[in-house]
Amino acid sequence: MTVSAPAVSTQLLDLYPALQGLEPRALDGLLQQAQVVDVPAGTALFGTGSPCRQFPFVLQGSIRVAKVGDGRELQLYRVGPGESCVLTSSCLVGSSDYPASGVVEADARLVVLSRDAFDALMSRHA
């Protein structure tokens, strides 16, 4: 579903105050390109070596980002509501593949931007 529900838009703006700095027209355009996705716990969002194609804003739940090597998993960090995935930001900006994996740890609701929408958002803040 697209981000048209006022409650989702309000929650997104409350959790990510940097978006409040956008002009209303720019924000509306950004939200029209976004998708709201409900993802159950245990779902892999990305894996080592996979291409980075979108940026998630976490409204609820959490994502565990980890690196696996030598049969061991090293948790790097968790992403919860109002937080950003540093790895995804870095991969999108650097046009690189993921060097780690991301798994939904607790049922999540995400507002997802495509790479193009993310690039447009970043160009407004450059």
Q: Which two tokens stand for residue 55?
A: 């940026």
Instruction: Indicate the residue type of 107.
Output: D
pLDDT tier, 4 (very low <50, low <70, confident <90, very high otherwise) = low
Q: What is the pLDDT of residues 54-112, one digit of tens each?
A: 999 999 999 999 998 888 989 999 999 999 999 999 999 999 999 999 999 999 999 99
> Which of 8 and 40 is assigned the larger pLDDT?
40
Instruction: Give the length of the chain.
Output: 126
Cα separation values, 15 from 42, 52, 73, 92, Å: 24, 23, 30, 21
In this model, does residue 2 exceed pLDDT 60? no
Report the predicted TM-score, pTM, of the whole model to 2 decimal places: 0.88
Per-residue DSSP letter, 1: -
Instruction: Categorize the per-residue pLDDT at 3 as very low, low, confident or very high, splitting at 50, 70 and 90.
Output: low
- Residue among 108, 109, 114, 56 at smallest CA distance from 85: 56
The whole-number pLDDT of residue 70 equals: 84
d(CA 2, CA 43): 21
